[in-house]
Structure 1
Amino acid sequence: MAGTGHPSVSPGFVPQRRAFIAPQPYRLGMLWTIIAVISLTIVGPYLSYKPAPFTGEGSPLRQIVYILTFGLAIYTTRAWRAPMRLLVLPASLVLVLAWCWLSLSWALNPDIALRRLVLTSMLIWTIFILVNNAGYATTMTAIRTVLSVLVLINYVAVIAFPESGIHQFGDIDNDNDLAGSWRGIMLQKNFAGAICALTIMIFLLDGRRLKPLLRWSVILATAFFLIRTNSKTSMGIGALGIFTAWLYNRYNPAYRALLIPAVMILGVGLFILSQIYWKELAEPFNSPAGFTGRVQIWPALIAYAHDHPLLGAGYGSFWNIGLGFGPIFTYAKGWVTGLGNGHNGYLDLLVQIGFPGLGLVILATIIMPLVRLLSSYSAPRPAGGLLVSMIVFCAGHNMTETSLFDRDAIVQVFLMFAIAMIAPVTAPPRRPIPTGAEPHRG
C-alpha cells in the first residue's frame, strides 16, 4: 500500500540525529572542512592531470592538501579528546579497505598502488569522521553551498571564457568527439554532467526548506547545463535516481523492503540472459564508434579477469602504472592502451582486486546501504529518498564510467557522503529527559 507520511512519532520523542554536539566554533569548522573536501574534489582532476602518455606519476600537492584536510577533520571534530570518534567506518567498508591493502602484497607496482590507496583510504575516513560528527543537516548545507556556487561559476566560464568553458577540438587528448560540449570549470564534460545530475537530485529531492526562488533557479539552470554537456550517462542515470526516490517516498518501508529480493532476482536473471544472448546483444556495438568505443575496451578487461579471477593485478595496478608497462599492453593494442581507465567501475575493480574484492565493494557500497535505507522506519522520506537516489546514480554511473573506490573521483566522493549520511538519517528517535526530572548521575 502506498503511503505519503512519516511513521508516527510520539510527541514525547524528539529526533536526535547526532550523539555528539560540538560547540559552535567547531560546528562551523566542520562545515567549512566539508566545503573544502567537496571543493578539492572538483579541482582535484586539475591537480593530477597529465596528458597522455600516462606514466603513473602522482601529485605531491594533491596528497598534501588531502592530508591537511584529514587533519582539519580530526581537529574540528575534537577527535583528539575522544579517539572513539575516529572509529566511524562501517565494518563492511573496513573489510573492503583491508582487502585492498592486502592486495598491495601482489600489486604489479606497489609504490604507485600504495599512493593511490593511501589517498582513497584517507578521503573515505575523512568523510565519515566529518559526517558522523556534523550530522545530516550540516553536511547537506555544505554540499548545497558548494554546488550552488559551482553552477554560477560554470556559467561564467562558458559565457566569459568559452575557449576553456566549452570543449574545443583536441583539447583533451585529441578527443574531437568532445568538441562543443559544455564543461564549465570542470576538466571534462562527463565530470560536469555527473555534478549537474547530483545537483539536481540534491536540490529537487530534499530542498523544501530552501527558498523556492533559489531552489528552482539552481535546478533549472543546472538542468540546462546538463543538457549542454551532452553527458548521456548522467542524464539517463540521473532520471533513474529521481524515479527511485519517488518510489521510496511513495511506499511504506514494509513494501519497500519487498523490492529488495525482487530487484536482486531480476538483476541475476538479466545477467544470466545477457550471458546466454551476449553475441546478439553485442552485435550493434561492434563498430569502433559503437557506445563511444567502450565495447572495444571491455573485452581486454574481461580477458584479464578470466586469467586472474581471484586476486587481480592489485589495487591501482592495472591502468597508468608506467609507460609501456601494465597488463593492458598485453591484452589490448592501439588506442585502448593509452587510456587511464576502462570506463566501467566494476570491470576496473575486477581486474584490480579480483572477484572477492569486487563482491565486497558491491556489498559495502550498494547492497547494504540500500537495504538499510529501504527497510528503515525512522528515516525521513525526503532525506532517505535523496540518499537512495544518490546511491543508485553512483552505482549506475559506474556502468559506463569509472569512479568506484577510485581515490577522489567526483562520483566516488558523493557516494561516500551518501553512505556516511545513512547513519544519522536512519538513527531512531531518542526519548528526551522529561521536563523537571533530574538527570541520572553516577
Structure 2
Amino acid sequence: MSSAAEIDALEPAAAAQPARDLADWARVLLNGVTLVVLWNHVWFSDLSDRSLLDAAEDGSLLTQLLFIGLGLAMAAALRRLGLERLRPLASWPLLAVATWLAITIFTSVEPLLSIRRAILLVIAAMLSAGILVVARSARQFALTLAGAALVILIPSFLAVALVPHLAVHSPFDVQADPSHTGLWRGVFPFKNEAGAVMVIFIIIGLYVAASASRLYGWALILLAATFLVGTNSKTALATLPVIFVVTTLCRVFRGTVLRAILLLGPVIGFAVISVGSVFIPAVKDLLDSVLSDASFTGRSEIWEFAMENILARPLQGWGYGAFWLTERTMYATGETQTWVNTARHGHNAYIDVALMLGVPGLGVILLAYLIAPLRDLQRITDGHGIDPATMLFLRLWFFALISASFESVLLNGNNATCCMFMMAVFGLRLRASHRMIAA
C-alpha cells in the first residue's frame, strides 16, 4: 500500500473526510471499465459499411447507454466518497468554460443537438475527474491504468493477426485513403485514433514504471510502441519525441518563465506549422521548401472551409457539436458543396473550438486549458522537481495541446485524447489545491 503522501497526491481534498469507503475491488473495477470505455468503446468497426457516410445527428445508442450507465455508477461512487473532493475543480477558469458552453448551446443553430452532445462531454468530464478520486493510492491508480491498457492492447494485436479485415485498413473502407491500406488500427475505428492511444499508453507505461512496477511499465511501453509503428500515425509519431524532450527539460529548468517558454513554444510552433501553412503565405513558402505536405495529409481545404464558417458566426459560433456531420453541412447545396462537407471534424482543435463556440469561446478555452494548468504546475512544484504523478498529467496535457493542431481533441468527449487531457487538467488542479491546503 502506498504512503499517505502518495494517496494524498491522488485524493487532493485530504482535509475532507469521506462519508463511507469503497472496497478496493470496486474502485479498480469502476476505474478500469471507465478507462477502457474512455479510450475506445466501439470495437472492430466495419469500415466498409456505407452507413458511415450518413449524417450522425442521432448519435450512437451504444455510446449513450455506456456513458449514462458509467456516469451513474461514478456519480454514486463520488457521492459515497464525498463530493467535496471535487470542490477544487470549481475554479473560475473552468467555471467560465462551463458558462460559455451553456450560452453557446442556446445560441446554437441546432440547440437540441448541442444539448445532447454537451451532456456526453459533461459525463466524460465527470468520469475523467472521478477516476482520480476513486483511486485509493498512486500504486492502485498506476496498476489500474496498466491493466486497462492491456485490455485494449492484447485484443488489438490478436485482431491484426486473426481478423485483419476488422483491424487493418483496406481499400474497401468507404472513406478509404489509398495510403492507409495495410496500416494497423486494432480495435479502433481509425489508425489515427489508435496511434494517439498508443502514445497515451507509452506515457502511462513510464508512470507505471516509476510508481508501481518497472516490469509492467516497460512491457506496456514496448507493446504500445510496436503497435504505434504499425499505425504509422504521423501526428502521434511526430509529437512523441517532442513530448519527452520538452517534459524532461522541465525537470531541469524549474523557473516559471523558462518552463512556460519550453511548453508554450512547441504548442505555438505546431499551430503555426499547421494553420500557418494555409493562411500565412510566408510560412507556406517556407514549409513548402522543406515538406511535401505541411498540413499532414492535405487538411488545407478543410481548414479553409472551417475558417469561412467561423467568419460567418465569429461571436457565438455554430453551437457545440452542431456543425460537422450534420445535415446542414453534409448536404449543403450550391457552390459550397465539396468533399470537405463530409469531414468528421476540422482536424484542428483550435479551429473547431472557434467554429463551435466562437472566437470568445476559444479565448476562454485557452485560458482554462492552457494558462491555468501552467499556473497549477508551478504551484505544485514550487521550484522543486516533478514527481511521477505530476509528470503523467503534464505529459498527457502537453500531448493533447500539440496534437490539437492536427486533431480535434479539446472538446470531444468521445475521444480518448480529450478525456485524458481533461483528466490531466483536473489532476493538476486538484494537486495544486492540495498543495495550498497542506501549506
Which secondary structure state, in structure 2, belongs to the residue aligned with residue 168 of structure 1?
coil
Which secondary structure state, in structure 2, belongs to the residue aligned with residue 118 of structure 1?
helix
RMSD: 3.5
Matched, 1:367 2:346: no
| Separation of aligned partners in 1, 2:191 and 2:269 | 34
Distance 1:226 1:289, change over 3 A: same
Instruction: Map 1:137-156 onto structure 2 (within 5 A).
Output: 137=138, 138-156=140-158
Distance 1:225 1:98, change over 3 A: same
- CA deviation digits over 1:124-166, x for unaligned, max 9? 1232234235366244332222113322221111112222221
Instruction: Map 1:371-382 onto structure 2 (within 5 A).
Output: 371-377=375-381, 380-382=386-388
Matched, 1:339 2:343: yes
Distance 1:266 1:207, change over 3 A: closer
Equivalent residue, structure 1, for 2:258:
258
Instruction: Map 1:268-347 onto structure 2 (within 5 A).
Output: 274=276, 275=280, 277-281=282-286, 291-322=296-327, 332-347=336-351
Quote how far apart the aligned CAs of 1:321 are: 1.9
Which secondary structure state, in structure 2, belongs to the residue aligned with residue 428 of structure 1?
helix
Distance 1:417 1:162, change over 3 A: same
Distance 1:264 1:208, change over 3 A: closer
Distance 1:206 1:381, change over 3 A: farther
| Separation of aligned partners in 2, 1:14 and 1:181 | 40
Task: Tell which deviates more after alignment, 188-197 or 419-428.
Answer: 419-428
| Separation of aligned partners in 1, 2:112 and 2:174 | 27
> Is the 1:244–1:385 contact (alpha carbons within 8 Å) kept by the matching residues of 2?
no
> Is the 2:57–2:326 contact (alpha carbons within 8 Å) kept by the matching residues of 1?
yes
Task: Tell which deviates more after alignment, 165-174 or 268-277.
Answer: 268-277
Aligned AA (1:394): A
| Separation of aligned partners in 1, 2:438 and 2:98 | 36
> Is the 2:160–2:167 contact (alpha carbons within 8 Å) kept by the matching residues of 1?
yes
> TM-score if structure 1 supplies the norm length?
0.83
Q: 1:174 aligns with which of 154, 172, 176?
A: 176
> Is the 1:47–1:61 contact (alpha carbons within 8 Å) kept by the matching residues of 2?
no
Equivalent residue, structure 2, for 1:386:
392
Quote how far apart the aligned CAs of 1:51 are: 0.3
Using the aligned pairs only, state the percent identity: 24
| Separation of aligned partners in 2, 1:184 and 1:296 | 29
| Separation of aligned partners in 2, 1:94 and 1:229 | 38
Equivalent residue, structure 2, for 1:69:
70
Quote how far apart the aligned CAs of 1:283 are: 5.3
Aligned AA (1:420): F
Distance 1:269 1:31, change over 3 A: closer
Matched, 1:415 2:421: yes
Q: 1:218 aligns with which of 212, 216, 220?
A: 220
Quote how far apart the aligned CAs of 1:319 are: 0.9
Equivalent residue, structure 2, for 1:405:
411
| Separation of aligned partners in 2, 1:331 and 1:271 | 29
Q: 1:16 aligns with which of 8, 27, 32?
A: 8
Aligned AA (1:16): D
Distance 1:262 1:429, change over 3 A: closer
Q: 2:233 aligns with which of 224, 231, 234?
A: 231
Which secondary structure state, in structure 2, belongs to the residue aligned with residue 51 of structure 1?
helix
| Separation of aligned partners in 1, 2:262 and 2:7 | 32
Aligned AA (2:352): D
Equivalent residue, structure 1, for 2:103:
102
Unaligned runs of 5+ in 1: 1-11, 433-442
Quote how far apart the aligned CAs of 1:237 are: 1.1
Aligned AA (2:153): V
Matched, 1:197 2:190: no
> Is the 1:404–1:412 contact (alpha carbons within 8 Å) kept by the matching residues of 2?
yes
Q: 2:401 aligns with which of 395, 398, 407?
A: 395
Which secondary structure state, in structure 1, belongs to the residue aligned with residue 392 of structure 2?
helix
Distance 1:309 1:14, change over 3 A: closer
- CA deviation digits over 1:98-149, x for unaligned, max 9? 2111112221111211110111012212322342353662443322221133
Equivalent residue, structure 2, for 1:5:
none
Distance 1:247 1:381, change over 3 A: farther
Equivalent residue, structure 1, for 2:29:
32
| Separation of aligned partners in 2, 1:13 and 1:65 | 34
Distance 1:39 1:205, change over 3 A: closer
Equivalent residue, structure 2, for 1:438:
none
Instruction: Map 1:344-359 onto structure 2 (within 5 A).
Output: 344-359=348-363
Quote how far apart the aligned CAs of 1:360 are: 1.1
Count of paired positions: 417
Equivalent residue, structure 2, for 1:440:
none
| Separation of aligned partners in 2, 1:267 and 1:409 | 20
> Is the 1:148–1:218 contact (alpha carbons within 8 Å) kept by the matching residues of 2?
yes
> TM-score if structure 2 supplies the norm length?
0.83
- CA deviation digits over 1:367-403, x for unaligned, max 9? 2112311443367422222221111101111111112
Distance 1:229 1:287, change over 3 A: closer
| Separation of aligned partners in 1, 2:150 and 2:77 | 24
| Separation of aligned partners in 2, 1:14 and 1:411 | 25
- CA deviation digits over 1:10-53, x for unaligned, max 9? xx999833325766634542332222222112333459995013
Distance 1:262 1:142, change over 3 A: closer
Task: Tell which deviates more after alignment, 126-135 or 171-180.
Answer: 126-135
| Separation of aligned partners in 1, 2:319 and 2:99 | 12
Distance 1:124 1:47, change over 3 A: farther
Distance 1:392 1:262, change over 3 A: closer
Distance 1:265 1:320, change over 3 A: closer
Task: Tell which deviates more after alignment, 221-230 or 286-295.
Answer: 286-295
Unaligned runs of 5+ in 2: none
